[in-house]
Amino acid sequence: MFRIFRRAHPITRLGLTPPRPAPDRHGLAVVLIVRDEQTHIAEWARFHALAGVRAFHVYDNGCTDGTIAALQAAVPGMATVIPWDQKLADARTGAEIHNQVLAYAHAVRNFGARYRWMSFIDVDEFLVPVRDESLPAALAALEAHANISLPWHMFGRNGHDAMPGGGVLANYTRRNPDPMSDAKGLRNFKMIVDPCRVTAMKVHSIETDGSADTVNDRGTRTSARGREAQSFYSADRIQLNHYYTRSDAELRAKIARGPNLTTPDADHLRRVMRKVDNIEAGEIEDRRALEFLARIGAGTAV
């Protein structure tokens, strides 16, 4: 008699008890899990500091280059770094525990009491104030809410085979025209939430007060499933730019690093390249990040 053993599904959702808010909590904190992003992390951190982020909580997922030193030099005194080089699994079932989700849950419980808002993004994602002078100013109109969903705006290679000089924002200004596209890999969200009301954590969906209900940046409320509708789309106040590929050379290096969860190499390559093809179909020009920097007098190089 033969038994068929199937690999357990990874654990990608973690429940938690939210922290009690500190009396003087305020501002926006950004949580990041990072591995070997020395080239781009300074630009990313300086941009968000200019945009009004109060603090960065950075989970070091085994960096072997100068990522952490570059970060600390870019935003002195603003970044708390936590060693986070691990791959954990449920001992009984073998189910892998998503390291990124675990970091996010840790950040909420251990640091969330200090802040009114928390967001959980990657180094290739930028939160762009669309018409305000800062992210806190843009969020002021959403004080009544605890859970904001921002759709990806997916940027491609912009014709660059090799990494150009001058940074990401100045060199990558073309994106897919439809953030709500049904094409594989294009429609997804990251969140800005009240950490003191978070009750469950995933990468692209966060529950607050026991519910996955969320609002867009206009304050329109819907369910987690409802945000998939075209009518939910908004980037009136805050636009989430996702520079998924950067140059072709960097894309190849990204593929070689592999995914956050254990996935066969061939499957990972196929999924990434399908997403890239979809991103670069019918691209449009989008300079909102550069327009924000110009509006606050920061120029284009950060």
Sorted by sequence, the CB contacts under 8 Å of residue 254 that are 6+ apart come out as: 245, 272
The two tokens of residue 187 are 């429609």
Using CA atoms, how far residue 69 sits from 18, 42, 104, in Å, is 31, 9, 22
pLDDT tens-place string over residues 61-72:
999 999 999 999
The SS3 assignment for 129 reads strand
Average pLDDT, the chain: 93
Q: Give the Cα separation of 217 and 237 in Å (integer).
A: 6
Phi-psi region of 195 (alpha: psi -120 to 50; beta: other; left: phi over 0): alpha
Please check whether residue 166 is in contact with residue 147, taking contact to mean a CB–CB distance below 8 angstroms: no
What distance, in Å, lies between the first and last C-alpha atoms of the chain? 64
- Report which of residues 90 and 265 the model is more confident about: 90
Q: What is the mean pLDDT of residues 24-49?
A: 97
pLDDT tens-place string over residues 88-107:
999 999 999 999 999 999 99
Please check whether residue 125 is in contact with residue 40, taking contact to mean a CB–CB distance below 8 angstroms: no
- Report which of residues 71 and 184 the model is more confident about: 71
- The region of weakest confidence among 6-15, 121-130, 140-149, 202-211 is 6-15
- pTM value is 0.93
The SS3 assignment for 120 reads strand
Percent of the chain with pLDDT over 70: 94
The CATH code of the domain at 14-295 is: 3.90.550
Q: What is the mean pLDDT of residues 265-282?
A: 85
Percent of the chain with pLDDT over 90: 86
Q: Is the pLDDT of residue 257 over 80?
A: no
- The stretches of the chain forming alpha helices (DSSP H) are 38-50, 67-74, 99-111, 135-139, 168-171, 248-257, 265-279, 288-295
117-147: burial string, b at 16+ Cβ within 10 Å, e else: bbbbbbbbbbbbbbebebbbebbeebeebbb
Q: Is the pLDDT of residue 31 over 50?
A: yes
CB neighbourhood size of 57 (10 A): 25
As to burial, measured by CB atoms within 10 angstroms (0-12 exposed, 13-18 middle, 19+ buried), residue 36 is: middle
Compute CA 144 distance to the chain's CA centroid, rounded to the nearest angstrom: 23
Q: Is the pLDDT of residue 49 over 60?
A: yes
Question: Where does the pLDDT of residue 272 fall: very low under 50, low under 70, confident under 90, or very high at 90 and above?
Answer: confident
Q: Give the Cα separation of 177 and 283 in Å (integer).
A: 6
Sorted by sequence, the CB contacts under 8 Å of residue 217 that are 6+ apart come out as: 138, 142, 148, 150, 234, 235, 236, 237, 238
Question: Where does the pLDDT of residue 8 fall: very low under 50, low under 70, confident under 90, or very high at 90 and above?
Answer: confident
